[in-house]
Each structure stands twice: as C-alpha cells, then as structure tokens.
C-alpha cells in the first residue's frame, strides 16, 4: 500500500526518546506480511521535516533540526519484524539546513553534516544500535571552535549502559570561531569514544597542504562542559616552500616571511563552561625570517625557550630570554644580541632589554612598550661606551682614525614598513681624538688653502666636545649636524718656526647623505673626501683663534 502524511507531533514519548514540535510530510509505499509479522516501507520521495526536537533526558541529549529532509538509501527506510525477537530498523540519509545538539551543557550549533545512518532497535533489550557515515557541514562547538568539511564514521548504542558512541574522523577542517582569529585553520584527524558522558579522544593535526604538525589527546565531560587536551608538535623544520609561520597564525602575514630553522612546541588546553585556559612551551632553534615588517630586511638565528601561560590573548610566564644572531635593518646591523621580552596579555609587548654589542660598547632598547595593533612603533635606541676608534675602523676610510667613547639616543620610528630616526643625538662621553692622513688631505693641501688648513688640523684634532644631531630614514638620506670643539695643531708658514702651534677649533658641519647605505656599499671613503671638500668650499663655520 501507500501512505501520504502531512502533520505534526506536538509531543510524544517512545520510552527514552522524546519528540516535540515535529512537523513532516511523508510519501511512502509499504508492504506488510501479517503471517511473517513483517512491515517494510520505502520512501517515494524525500520526507520533509521543517522542524523537530528530539531528546533523551536521561542521557542529557537534545537535538533540534530545521529545514531537514530524510531521503532513501539503498535499503528500505523501515524494516520491522514484530515476532518474538522483535526488531525495527530505520535507515536513510538525513540532511538539515540548520541544527543544534546539546550533550549535557556542551552545545554544537550550525549546519550539520549529511548523515547516512541506520538504527536497529531491539524492544526486548530496550537497546538501540546505530552506525553511519557523515560528510560536509559547518558547526561551532560552544561558540569557540568551528568544524567544517568533516568526513567520518560513527557507531554506538543507547541502552541500559547509557549512551555509548565511537567516532572516527578521517578529515575535518578546524578554525577559531572568531572575527579576528589568531590561529590559521588546520586539518584534523582523530578518534573518540563517548561513554558515561565522558568523551575521550585522540587527534593529529596538519596544514591545509597536508604537512603533519603533531599529535594530541584529550578528555571532555559533556555534563560539566569541562575537559583538557594536550598537543605536541615534535621537531618542525621551517622552509619557505613547505612550512611557513603564517601556516600557524594569520598574524604573521605581511609581518614576517621566508622563515628557515627549527622549532617545536607543547600545548595544553583546559575548559570549563565558556572559560578557556591554555599554555605552551615553544623552543626555537636558529630560526631566521624576513622582517618583522619591511623595516627589517632579515632577522637571523633566533634561539630560546618561550613559556606561555595563555594563548588567548598571548601571555608569557614573565620575561622570556631569546638570543638573536642578527637583526638586519639593511643599513644598520645589530649582531649577537639578547632580548628579554614579556607579553602581559593585553595586546602589548614589553621589551625589558634588547641589547647588542656595538663597537666595543652596547646599543639596545630598554624598558619599552609597543602595541600589536599600532601601525606605528617607536623605540629609543640607546648607545653607550661606543668606541669611536672601532667605529672609524669599520668605516674603512683610508687614513682616518680616532679615539674616545660615544653615547646617545636614536629614536627609531617604524611606520608603514619603514624605519627612520627622529631627533637622534650622539655625543662623546670622554675627550678623544680625530686623525686623518688620507690621500684627500694630501691633494687638498696642494689645491686649496682653506682645505689645507682644515686637513692640517685634522691630522691631530684633540676634542673635548663631539656632538651629532641625526634625522632621516635608514634606507635614505640622513641629515647629520656635526659639532666638535677642541685643539688642533696648525703649522706656521715661517721657516724660522719649526713646531706647529696649538689652536682652539670649533667645527660645525651639516651632511645630508645616505650614510648608512654608503657604509654598507663600501663607498664611505670616497664620500668622506667629497664631504670635506664641500665643507671647505662652502665656507661653513670654521673658527680659529
């Protein structure tokens, strides 16, 4: 026979199963064999289920479906044997536009995956066995984690022992359910068993391209909405072609790229209701990358252990010590440094100390704060005990040498991927000397009387004051105003006087040039001669007494 049904169930109880607010449209054909006490039914078209609520209160399970259909599979939708060993089997493909499942206080909400399922009910044992496959969908668990494009199987039973389920997920994409996630979507695989309202599970994670990232395990109490999970990556090798930092977090995109090196991490998570706790221990070994931002050409040799007490937001266990082999600001090289960094968990970073050896002294950032949200960052680069002689040796200008100690502050502004110095000031912290015996001096002695005087004094200038005001981009022309006061030796143009005479000297000189780039390119020697010649020809303030 045939049956066409359109109607609803306001409320009905079938032992443990409760149905409420269910409306449906069903067109089915059936065959009944009263002698064999068997009924078989086939769907002529997909049954429509605009809405329905199902629940098993004793197990704390509740399911709400909207805009759902139940379609036929290869077997009848209903097979009922009503003999002594009564048995009822339901089978079909269930598809719902939206759904919500509550297991205890755990909520799964969204578009459920398509479910091919078969249920076998044995009335005498008050037991229902089920098995099936599921695919697709997009759901959110407790408004925290999204799961979509799932592919897996399930089997289990509902009986005297309660609700028991074994789930195997061959693949699912996971992501944070947040408008501004800090984690990149990952591919997960795993298995889990739900027994006595406790869900134990194991899982593995990989990048969307299939590169393995690590394995983990966990336990979830569905009644208490509480649980824990742990995850360990094992050794990870970063290369631009295979594994990138942006594979872990979108926060790295546009900030760092081209990472090379090794790292590993151990992560722990805990939750109770909507409260989430997390932590991690991350080991870095010779990690190098381009950036951060366009202002830094490359950061190389980052090594150390970072302990995090929270991942949302990121918070460290106090200050963390990291070693850095090189920060390449293109024109400014900072090598073999040590950084003491703290993330307090408020979207900022505190640099307690970031110091680098610099020409026998030190340069670094101390007690600075910056925000991850700011497009502009400002750091006070402080230099102390810088050996002027070592710095001049680095310039590699023929015949130029000196002595003394230099200190000062270079306010470094990083904005829109570029770095510049604003109102930088360097000064000598002790008396010193400047000496120049190069070819530029010899040539100028013959061609220009003013230059001859200047270069004669520069053969042995003993200064008490040396100051420099510095402004400009690191990748462009720096404006430098130099001033030094001291004593120089000036030869007397008189054959009767053999010794030079000491004269007080006050030099003021302004230079606009890509100084740092010239140093990098090895052109500082020729440029130095041109700047001196320009200075003399322009008759800038040269005072001799």
Within a domain: 382: no
Q: What token pair was written down for 424?
A: 């930088």
Taking residues 447-467, report their average pLDDT: 78
With cut-offs at 50, 70 and 90, classify the pLDDT of residue 248.
confident
End position of a domain, from candidates 230, 247, 274? 230
Lowest mean pLDDT among 137-146, 166-175, 515-524: 515-524
With cut-offs at 50, 70 and 90, classify the pLDDT of residue 446.
low
Q: CB 375: neighbour CB atoms within 10 A?
A: 10
Peptide bond into 313 cis (omega under 30): yes
Both 249 and 225 in one domain: the answer is: no
Both 182 and 267 in one domain: the answer is: no
End position of a domain, from candidates 184, 215, 230? 230
Q: Which of 112, 183, 171, 113 shows the shortest CA–CA distance to 145?
A: 183
Both 217 and 238 in one domain: the answer is: no
Taking residues 385-401, report their average pLDDT: 85
Taking residues 322-330, report their average pLDDT: 89
Task: Indicate the Cα dihedral angle 393, 399, 404, 407, nearest 10°.
Answer: -50
With cut-offs at 50, 70 and 90, classify the pLDDT of residue 539.
very low
Both 238 and 212 in one domain: the answer is: no
Both 288 and 331 in one domain: the answer is: yes
> Across 65-74, 469-478, 517-526, 533-542, which has the greatest mean pLDDT?
65-74
pLDDT: which is higher, 100 or 249: 100
pLDDT digits (tens, 9 = 90+) for 169-190: 999 999 888 777 778 899 999 9
What was the pLDDT predicted at 259? 93
With cut-offs at 50, 70 and 90, classify the pLDDT of residue 540.
very low
Distance CA 312, CA 4 (A): 54
Both 302 and 225 in one domain: the answer is: no
pLDDT at 505 > cutoff 90: no
pLDDT digits (tens, 9 = 90+) for 42-90: 998 999 999 999 888 776 788 999 999 999 998 999 999 988 888 999 9
Both 169 and 88 in one domain: the answer is: yes
In angstroms, the Cα distances linking 537 to 217, 525, 531 are 77, 19, 10
Q: What token pair was written down for 179?
A: 């408008």
Residue 344 half-sphere exposure toward CB, CA atoms < 13 A: 10
pLDDT: which is higher, 293 or 78: 78
Within a domain: 358: no
Instruction: Give the CA angle between residues 150, 151, 152 to the nearest 5°.
Output: 120
Both 204 and 240 in one domain: the answer is: no
Evaluate whether 329 touches 291 at the Cβ level (below 8 Å): no
Among residues of the chain, what percentage have pLDDT more than 90? 47
pLDDT at 268 > cutoff 90: yes
Both 462 and 412 in one domain: the answer is: yes
With cut-offs at 50, 70 and 90, classify the pLDDT of residue 205.
very high
User: Could you tell me the pTM of the whole model?
Assistant: 0.75
Distance CA 338, CA 407 (A): 20
Among residues of the chain, what percentage have pLDDT more than 70? 87
What was the pLDDT predicted at 2? 84
Q: Name the burial class of residue 14, with classes exposed (0-12), middle (13-18) and buried (19+) by CB atoms within 10 angstroms of its CB.
A: exposed
Q: Is the dihedral of CA 516, 522, 523, 528 positive or negative?
A: positive
Within a domain: 368: no
pLDDT: which is higher, 165 or 180: 165
Within a domain: 160: yes
Both 444 and 493 in one domain: the answer is: yes
pLDDT at 306 > cutoff 90: yes
Q: What token pair was written down for 326?
A: 């090189």
What was the pLDDT predicted at 230? 97
Within a domain: 364: no
In the chain, how many domains are there? 3
Q: What token pair was written down for 151?
A: 């592919």
Q: CB 425: neighbour CB atoms within 10 A?
A: 15
Lowest mean pLDDT among 73-87, 129-143, 246-260, 462-476: 246-260
What was the pLDDT predicted at 543? 38
Both 186 and 46 in one domain: the answer is: yes
What was the pLDDT predicted at 520? 53
Q: Name residues whose C-beta falls within 8 Å of residue 496's C-beta, 6 or more positions apart in sequence.
A: none
Distance CA 130, CA 156 (A): 5
- The whole domain housing 405 covers 395-544
The chain-wide mean pLDDT, for the chain, equals: 85
Q: Name residues whose C-beta falls within 8 Å of residue 53's C-beta, 6 or more positions apart in sequence.
A: 19, 20, 21, 22, 62, 63, 64
DSSP state at residue 492: -
Evaluate whether 308 touches 316 at the Cβ level (below 8 Å): yes
What was the pLDDT predicted at 335? 92
Q: Name the burial class of residue 186, with classes exposed (0-12), middle (13-18) and buried (19+) by CB atoms within 10 angstroms of its CB.
A: middle
pLDDT: which is higher, 543 or 115: 115
Q: CB 121: neighbour CB atoms within 10 A?
A: 20
Q: Which of 153, 154, 163, 144 shows the shortest CA–CA distance to 103?
A: 163
Give the ranges where 359-485 is alpha helix by DSSP (H): 388-395, 439-447, 449-458
Residue written as tokens 């001291």?
Answer: 486
Taking residues 18-27, report their average pLDDT: 88
> Across 117-126, 301-310, 479-488, which has the greatest mean pLDDT?
301-310
* % helix, strand, coil for the chain, step of 5: 10, 65, 25
Give the three-class secondary structure for 139.
strand
Give the three-class secondary structure for 373.
coil
With cut-offs at 50, 70 and 90, classify the pLDDT of residue 238.
very high
Evaluate whether 159 touches 128 at the Cβ level (below 8 Å): yes
Q: Name residues whose C-beta falls within 8 Å of residue 261's C-beta, 6 or more positions apart in sequence.
A: 237, 238, 284, 285, 286, 287, 288, 302
Give the three-class secondary structure for 89.
strand
Task: Indicate the Cα dihedral angle 122, 10, 48, 121, nearest 10°.
Answer: 0
Taking residues 142-146, report their average pLDDT: 84
pLDDT at 453 > cutoff 80: no
Residues in the chain: 545
> Across 169-173, 270-274, 504-508, which has the greatest mean pLDDT?
169-173
Phi, psi of 497, rounded to the nearest 5 degrees: -110, 110
End position of a domain, from candidates 177, 198, 230? 230
Both 143 and 85 in one domain: the answer is: yes
Distance CA 4, CA 326 (A): 77
């Amino acid at each position: 026979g045939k049956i066409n049904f359109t109607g609803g169930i306001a409320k009905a109880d079938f032992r443990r199963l409760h149905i409420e607010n269910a409306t449906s449209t069903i067109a089915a054909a059936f065959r009944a064999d009263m002698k064999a006490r068997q009924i078989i039914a086939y769907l002529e078209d997909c049954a429509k289920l605009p809405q329905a609520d199902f629940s098993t209160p004793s197990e704390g399970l509740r399911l709400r479906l909207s805009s759902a259909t139940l379609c036929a599979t290869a077997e009848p939708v209903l097979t009922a044997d009503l003999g002594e060993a009564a048995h009822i089997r339901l089978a079909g493909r269930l598809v719902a536009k939206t759904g919500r499942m509550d297991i205890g206080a755990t909520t799964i909400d969204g578009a459920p995956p398509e479910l091919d399922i078969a249920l076998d009910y044995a009335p005498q044992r008050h037991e229902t066995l089920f098995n099936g496959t599921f695919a697709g969908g997009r759901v959110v668990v407790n408004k925290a984690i999204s799961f979509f494009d799932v592919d897996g199987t399930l089997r289990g039973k509902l009986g005297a022992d309660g609700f028991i389920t074994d789930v195997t997920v061959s693949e699912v994409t996971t992501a944070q359910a947040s408008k501004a996630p800090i984690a990149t979507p990952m591919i997960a695989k795993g298995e889990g068993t739900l027994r006595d309202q406790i869900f134990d599970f194991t899982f593995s994670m990989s990048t969307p391209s299939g590169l393995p990232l690590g394995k983990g395990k966990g336990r979830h109490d569905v009644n208490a909405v509480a649980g824990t999970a742990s995850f360990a990556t094992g050794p990870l090798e970063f290369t631009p072609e295979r594994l990138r930092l942006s594979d872990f977090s979108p926060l790295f995109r546009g900030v760092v790229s081209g990472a090379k090196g090794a790292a590993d991490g151990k992560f722990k998570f805990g939750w109770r209701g909507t409260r989430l706790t997390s932590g991690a221990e991350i080991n870095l070994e010779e990690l190098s990358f381009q950036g951060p931002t366009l202002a830094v050409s490359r950061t190389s040799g980052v090594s150390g252990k970072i302990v995090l007490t929270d991942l949302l937001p990121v918070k460290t266990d106090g200050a963390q010590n990291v070693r850095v082999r090189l920060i390449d600001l293109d024109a400014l090289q900072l090598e073999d440094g040590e950084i003491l960094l703290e993330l307090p968990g408020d979207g900022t970073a505190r640099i307690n100390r970031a110091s680098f050896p610099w020409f026998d002294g030190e340069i670094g950032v101390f007690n600075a704060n910056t925000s991850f949200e700011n497009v502009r960052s400002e750091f006070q680069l402080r230099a102390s005990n810088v050996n002027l002689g070592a710095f001049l040796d680095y310039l590699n200008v023929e015949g130029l040498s000196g002595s003394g100690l230099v200190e000062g502050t270079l306010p470094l502004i990083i904005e829109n991927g570029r770095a510049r110095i604003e109102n930088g000031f360097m000064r000598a912290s002790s008396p010193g000397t400047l000496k120049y015996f190069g070819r530029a001096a010899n040539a100028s002695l013959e061609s220009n009387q003013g230059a001859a005087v200047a270069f004669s004094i520069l053969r042995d200038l003993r200064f008490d004051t040396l100051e420099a005001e510095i402004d400009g981009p690191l990748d462009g022309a720096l404006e430098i105003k130099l001033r030094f006061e001291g004593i120089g030796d000036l030869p007397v143009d008189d054959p009767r006087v053999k010794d030079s005479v000491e004269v007080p000297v006050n030099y003021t000189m302004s230079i606009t040039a890509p100084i740092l780039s010239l140093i990098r390119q090895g052109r500082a020697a020729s440029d130095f001669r041109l700047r001196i010649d320009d200075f003399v020809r322009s008759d800038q303030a040269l005072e001799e007494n």
